[in-house]
Amino acid sequence: MSYVDVICYSQGQIRLNGDVNMTQLDIPANNGYIHYIDGLLTPESLLPLLPHRCDVTAQRTIRVSIAHSNKLN
């Protein structure tokens, strides 16, 4: 089971898990309230599956042949 640590600072700032800020609070919605956060909350069970660096991208080029036909089905 994953938990979220909520820290409320005396200046009014609220942080989740130490590094995700709540930026807007109590926005009315049809079925409750919305709270905006400026980060992603990820369960610890997913961490081993995620890449360890977000500044590295991978690309792969695939060569395919495309058959061309003037017939419409």
pLDDT attached to residue 28 = 94
pLDDT attached to residue 73 = 46
Could you tell me if 17 and 6 are in contact, meaning their C-beta atoms sit under 8 angstroms apart? no
Q: Tokens 């200046």 label which residue?
A: 11
- Which residues, at least 6 apart from 4, have a Cβ–Cβ distance to it below 8 Å? 16, 17, 41
Domain definitions of the chain by residue range: 1-73
What confidence tens digit (pLDDT) does each residue in 2-52 have? Answer: 678 889 988 888 998 888 999 988 999 999 999 999 988 877 777 777 766
